[in-house]
């Protein structure tokens, strides 16, 4: 079905389509780019499908290169639209492993290519002259706010179980609701999510957690049973009542903190994981109060394992684990300048404000009484911000010398001793025992150099 919608495509996209057609091939813009255009959103990625075979595309475009020849995909670099992927029309065989098609057959028909796609909103194509190709009602579904599978929902999800997580991602980012049969199929197939390769789960979770309202997806996953396969560690927190200082169960507290935290991927992920340890070490003392002593350390261990399982980027993983481990910091009285400098140095000047945001969300997550406890947080944050703006010394890179200075001045050999001396110097500067000046630091360092060196 053609719909006479007209979109202004970038010149380079139109040129690729025209080049293919002038060589006797069919060519259409497809997938997410068309979906975004229908929503009035500028696409970030541009995909084209065509009746041309990979070898024919490579012959037509001098800069083209193949990234998935067996799937018929060729990439064409452009000046304004990034790497444009062009793929041969194809139909797919059954998914015996629940992940990949057993085989792929090239086709000469656009309809067969659109029929293999996951959801109707992604099964749209567009041609600059003939307009929108909508064989499965994707445009109407978008207009009505519905996420619907192409074909029978259970069969489509069973082909590739990752589509279950993709459904939550599209629902979140596109503001759609799950069509009834799709939701039913997700509930039926939810136990199979646990069998997905963990790195694929992690890839979807990174995208979901990047959204400001990721907490909604987490709630929906729990209701449908999917969350047990994605994050089984959270199950012990369902219904786990806390002490009199908390208005919510541990799970509900987690959702509230995600809802109210800073719009930042690492902070939001830390909120999801920050109290997992409570489900492991919960105990009720003789006075009837439930306590979770040391839960932040257990939560950090769990966070480390989960993020490794999800193949999370190393640097970001370490930062999130630190946020989880340090989230319980507390000063009953205003800390001294020296104590505050040590705190910033321990957490890291590049991470301490994120930790403050984690703590703020955790306080709000206490319930109505939490907001009344934010004024000390505001004072502390202002003090930390002022210290950071003053460019005080909080890390080794802030010192007025480095390891090479120590080696040259004291004629030392490279080795662990250099790092140990630098750590002592940093501690001394933070404690205001020595000024951060090269000459003063070298004089102070002399006490740590062994006799005879």
pLDDT tens readout for residues 23-55: 999 999 999 999 999 999 999 999 999 999 999
Q: Is 2 helix (H, G, I), strand (E, B) or coil?
A: strand
The residue with tokens 């907490």 is 215
Contacting residues for 286 by C-beta, under 8 A, at least 6 apart: none
What pTM did the predictor assign?
0.90
Do 408 and 438 meet the contact criterion of CB atoms below 8 Å apart?
A: no
Is the pLDDT at 198 greater than 90? The verdict is: yes
Q: For 377-401, write each residue's pLDDT tens digit.
A: 999 999 999 999 998 888 999 999 9
Do 90 and 111 meet the contact criterion of CB atoms below 8 Å apart?
A: no
| CA-based max dimension of the chain | 88
Q: Where are the alpha helices (DSSP H) in 23-87?
A: 32-38, 54-60
pLDDT band at 281 (very low <50, low <70, confident <90, very high): confident
pLDDT band at 247 (very low <50, low <70, confident <90, very high): confident
Q: What is the mean pLDDT of residues 260-286?
A: 90
Name the residue among 32, 22, 29 with its Cα closest to residue 7.
29
Q: What pLDDT is attached to residue 403?
A: 95
The residue with tokens 């500028």 is 42
Q: Is 448 helix (H, G, I), strand (E, B) or coil?
A: helix
Q: Is the dihedral of CA 35, 38, 44, 47 positive or negative?
A: positive
**CATH annotation of 234-389:** 1.10.3210
**CATH annotation of 396-448:** 1.10.246
Range in 87-91, 262-266, 299-303, 315-319 with the lowest mean pLDDT: 87-91
Distance set, CA 320 to CA 276, 285, 375, 384, 395 (Å)? 14, 31, 25, 20, 19
Distance CA 115, CA 402 (A): 62
**Which tokens hold the place of 125?**
């194509």
Q: For 338-376, write each residue's pLDDT tens digit.
A: 899 999 999 999 999 999 999 999 999 999 888 778 888
For 339, what's the count of Cα atoms within 13 Å in the CB-facing half-sphere?
Answer: 8
Domain ranges of the chain: 2-144, 156-229, 234-389, 396-448
Strand segments, DSSP code E, in 230-342 are 283-284, 290-291
Name the residue among 183, 186, 355 with its Cα closest to residue 264.
355
CATH topology for 156-229 is Hydrophobic Seed Protein (1.10.110)
Q: Could you say which architecture CATH assigns to the domain 2-144?
A: 2-Layer Sandwich (3.30)
Q: Is 5 helix (H, G, I), strand (E, B) or coil?
A: coil
Name the residue among 259, 254, 248 with its Cα closest to residue 276.
254
Distance CA 397, CA 418 (A): 14
Q: For 396-415, write each residue's pLDDT tens digit.
A: 999 999 999 999 999 999 99
């Amino acid at each position: 079905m053609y719909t006479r919608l007209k979109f202004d495509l970038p010149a380079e996209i139109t040129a690729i389509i025209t080049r293919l057609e002038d060589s006797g091939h069919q060519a259409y813009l497809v997938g997410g780019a068309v979906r975004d255009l229908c929503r009035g959103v500028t696409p970030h990625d541009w995909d084209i499908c065509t009746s041309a075979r990979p070898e024919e595309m490579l012959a037509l475009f001098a800069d083209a290169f193949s990234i998935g020849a067996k799937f018929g995909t060729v990439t064409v670099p452009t000046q304004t639209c990034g790497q444009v992927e062009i793929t041969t029309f194809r139909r797919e065989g059954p998914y015996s492993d629940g992940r990949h098609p057993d085989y792929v057959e090239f086709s000469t028909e656009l309809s067969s290519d659109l029929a293999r796609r996951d959801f109707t909103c992604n099964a749209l194509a567009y041609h600059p002259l003939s307009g929108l190709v909508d064989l499965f009602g994707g445009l109407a579904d978008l207009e009505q706010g519905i996420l619907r599978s192409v074909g029978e929902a259970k069969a489509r999800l069973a082909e590739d179980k990752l589509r279950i997580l993709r459904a939550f991602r599209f629902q979140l980012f596109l503001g759609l609701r799950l069509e009834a049969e799709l939701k039913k199929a997700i509930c039926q197939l939810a136990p199979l999510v646990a069998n997905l390769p963990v790195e694929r789960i992690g890839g979807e979770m990174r995208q979901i957690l990047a959204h400001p309202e990721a907490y909604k997806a987490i709630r929906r996953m729990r209701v449908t049973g999917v969350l047990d396969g994605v994050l089984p560690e959270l199950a012990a927190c369902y219904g786990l009542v806390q002490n009199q200082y908390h208005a919510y169960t541990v799970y509900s507290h987690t959702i509230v903190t995600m809802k109210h935290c800073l719009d930042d991927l690492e902070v939001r992920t830390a909120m999801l994981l920050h109290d997992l340890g409570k489900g492991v070490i919960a105990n009720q003392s003789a006075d009837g109060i439930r306590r979770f002593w040391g839960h932040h350390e257990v939560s950090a261990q769990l966070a480390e394992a989960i993020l490794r399982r999800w193949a999370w980027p190393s640097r970001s993983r370490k930062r999130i684990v630190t946020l989880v481990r340090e989230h319980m910091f507390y000063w009953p009285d205003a800390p001294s300048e020296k104590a505050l400098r040590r705190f910033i140095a321990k957490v890291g000047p590049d991470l301490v404000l994120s930790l403050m945001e984690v703590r703020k969300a955790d306080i709000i997550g206490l319930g109505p009484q939490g907001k009344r406890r934010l004024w000390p947080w505001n004072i502390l944050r202002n003090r930390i911000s002022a210290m950071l703006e003053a460019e005080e010394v909080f890390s080794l890179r802030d010192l007025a010398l480095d390891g090479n200075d120590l080696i040259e001045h004291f004629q030392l050999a490279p080795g662990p001793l250099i790092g140990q001396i630098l750590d002592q110097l940093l501690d001394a500067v933070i404690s205001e025992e020595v000024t951060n000046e090269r000459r003063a630091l070298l004089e102070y360092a002399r006490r740590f150099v062994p006799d005879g060196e």
